[in-house]
Amino acid sequence: MASFKVTCVPRNLELLWLQAKDTHHAYNIFHDRDVSEPRCRKGDGGLTFLLTKKKSTLCEKVMRHIKNVGFEGVLVSVVHKVDHPLITALVERWRPETNTFHFPIGEVTVTLHDVQVIWGLPIDGPAVTGKIKMMTLAEHIDHTFDANNDLLCLQRAILALIGSKLFHDSNTYDISLNYLQYLEDLSCEGRKSWGSTTLACLYRNLSKGTMPQRKGIDGGLLLLQYWAWERMSRIAPRVTPFKEKTSYNYGECLANKWHGKFSHVQTPAHVLTIYQSFFNALTNDQFLWTPYTTFIHLLPRDCTHGQQLWAYIGPLIHWEEVESHLAQRIARQFGMIQTIPNEVGLMEPQEWNSLRDSLRGEDLWSTGV
C-alpha cells in the first residue's frame, strides 16, 4: 500500500501571510512549545454593575437619550465574568487574515448580525473614525462640566459603557474622551454605527491576541462569550429560571437571556483543555448556524433595524483601525449555502496599511460601515 505524509499546515506558507514561524499563538501549540495563557481583560471594575444598579434612578430624560443613541441594550444587559479559558481557546483558532475562527466544520465568526441581536447596537450610520484636535477636545470637556446639565450624566453613563464593555484596551482604568465628539447629537437621527465599531475593535484585539508575545486580550470579550454560548449550546451554562428557546422574552436585547443563576453541572467551565478538545472534535450538529430564526420576528426594533447590513462585505472602521467583514466566508450563518469563498475583501498587510493611512486626514468618514 502506498504511503504519504499528511501535514496540518499549508505547504505554501504564503497562503496565509501570518502562517510564518512564531507569528501565531497556535504555532507554538502545534509544535509542542511551552505557552502561557494570555490574560483576558475586562475593564468594568464594578463600574458597569454600579450603573446597572442605578439605572432606575437615572432620570427619564437621560434614559430616553441613551435609548436614542442605541446603548439601552448594553446598559440593561446583565454583567458576567469572562470565561478566560473559553476566550483563549477561541483565540487559538482565530485567523487574522480572514477575521474568522477555523473549526473542523469550517469558518465561523461574530458578525454585524450577532452584535445587533445580542446587544441591540446600531450598525447603520456614520462610522466612528478620524481624529480630534486637542483644542476641540478641550471645548468638549469644558462644555460637559455643568452641574445642572443632564448631558453630563448621560455622557458619563455612555463613557462608562464604552470603556467597560465595548472599547477598553490594555489600560483598563482609562476611557478615551475622544468619543465625546460623537455624543453631541443625542437624537435617533444622530446615531452612529456603534455596532460596526465594536466589531472592528473586537476583530483587531483578537488578532493581537494571536501573537505569541501578547500578554493580554482586550475588546468586547463579553460579546464573544455570549456569541459562543448562543452558537455552541454544549459549552453554555444552564441558567435558572430556565427560559424556553422557542420564545423571546428577554427585553431590550438577547444578552438578557443569560440573566439568572448559572449551573455548569453538565457543561464545561474555565478549563482550557476541555474547550480545546471540544473545538478539535466540533461537528455540524454541535454548532447552531442560525440560532435566532425562531424569534427574529419578536426582537425589538433596535435588534433588527439595519438587517440589510447583516451580510455586508467590506471594511469596518474604528478610528484609524480597519478590519474586514467577510460575510461570504460564513454564508451558513445567514441560512445560505456555503460555496468556495472569493477573495473580495481580502487584502495584503500593505493594502490595509494604505487604507488605514487614508483615515489620518482631518475629515471624518460619514459613510457608515
Better-predicted residue by pLDDT, 274 or 259: 274
Minimal CA–CA distance to 161: which of 243, 72, 101, 261?
72
Phi and psi at 324, nearest 5°, equal: -95, 140
Beta strand residue intervals within 7-84, DSSP E: 39-40
Distance between CA atoms of residues 310 and 324, nearest Å: 13
Among residues 180, 110, 117, the alpha carbon closest in space to that of 145 is found at 180
What percentage of the chain exceeds 90 in pLDDT?
A: 25
Nearest-10 Cα torsion for 339, 328, 231, 92? 100
Nearest-CA neighbor of 116 among 310, 314, 348, 361? 310
pLDDT in tens, 147-157: 456 666 677 67
Q: Are 52 and 1 in contact (CB under 8 A)?
A: no
Q: Which whole number is the average pLDDT over 184-202?
A: 80
Please report the pLDDT score of residue 47 as a whole number.
53
- Res. 369 pLDDT band, cuts 50 70 90: very low
Is the pLDDT higher at 14 or at 215? 215
Other beta carbons less than 10 A from residue 114's beta carbon: 23
DSSP helix/strand/coil, 198 = helix
Q: For 136-164, what is the mean pLDDT?
A: 58
DSSP 8-state assignment for residue 40: E
- Cα–Cα distance list, 343 to 52, 100, 103, 340, 347 (Å): 43, 14, 20, 10, 8
Arithmetic mean of pLDDT, 209-218: 82
pLDDT mean over 313-318: 88
Highest averaged pLDDT of the listed ranges 62-66, 97-101, 157-161: 97-101
- Rounded to the nearest angstrom, the gap between the alpha carbon of residue 104 and the centroid of all alpha carbons in its chain is 22
Q: Residue 18's pLDDT is what?
A: 46
Confidence (pLDDT) at 32: 65
Question: Residue 181's closest CA among 143, 149, 214?
Answer: 143
Residue 134 is predicted with a pLDDT of 40
Cα–Cα distance for residue pair 196/127, rounded to 1 Å: 8
- Among 22-36, 68-82, 124-138, 348-362, whose mean pLDDT is lowest? 348-362
Residue 248, phi-psi category: left (phi > 0), alpha (psi -120 to 50), beta (remainder): beta
- Residue 145 CB-density burial (10 A; 0-12 exposed, 13-18 middle, 19+ buried): exposed
Rounded to whole angstroms, how far apart are CA atoms 278 and 157? 39
pLDDT bucket at 168, cuts 50 / 70 / 90: low
Pairing of strands 216-217, 106-108: unpaired
pLDDT of residue 110: 97
- Tell me, what's the pLDDT at 292? 93
43-52, 61-70, 72-81, 152-161: lowest mean pLDDT where?
Answer: 43-52
Indicate the domain borders of the chain: 31-360
Residue 355 confidence (pLDDT): 57
Query: CA 173 → CA 45, 70, 236, distances in Å?
Result: 8, 24, 30
The residue whose grid cell reads 483587531 is 204
Give the chain's mean pLDDT: 75
Which of 260, 255, 246 lies closest to 303 in space, CA to CA?
Answer: 255
Give me 19's grid cell: 502562517
Phi, psi of 95 (to 5 degrees): -110, 115
Residue-wise pLDDT for 83-111, tens only, equals: 889 999 999 999 888 899 999 999 999 99
Residues facing residue 39 across a β-bridge: 216
**Model pLDDT, residue 103:** 94
pTM: 0.80
pLDDT: which is higher, 180 or 211: 211
Q: What is the pLDDT of residue 366?
A: 34
Give residue 228's pLDDT band: very low, low, confident or very high (50, 70, 90): very high
C-alpha cell at 199: 466589531
Residue whose C-alpha is closest to residue 112's, from 303, 301, 341: 303
Contact present, 246 and 269 (Cβ < 8 Å): no
Question: Distance between CA 226 and CA 115 in Å, rounded?
Answer: 10
Rounded Cα distance between 195 and 113, Å, is 9
Strand ranges in the chain using DSSP code E only, listed in sequence order: 39-40, 94-95, 100-103, 106-108, 216-217, 238-240, 261-263, 313-318, 321-326
Model pLDDT, residue 20: 55
Q: How would residue 251 be classed by pLDDT, with cut points 50, 70 and 90?
A: confident
Confidence label for 15 from pLDDT (cuts 50, 70 and 90): very low
Question: What average pLDDT score do residues 307-313 get?
Answer: 92
d(CA 96, CA 70): 29
Higher local confidence (pLDDT), 68 or 37: 68
What mean pLDDT is predicted for residues 11-35?
A: 62
Cell triple for 301: 426594533
Sequence-ordered list of residues with C-beta below 8 angstroms from that of 307, at least 6 positions apart, any chain:
none
**Residue 211 above 50 pLDDT?**
yes
Q: What is the pLDDT of residue 220?
A: 85
pLDDT number for residue 89:
93
Query: What is the chain's length?
Result: 369
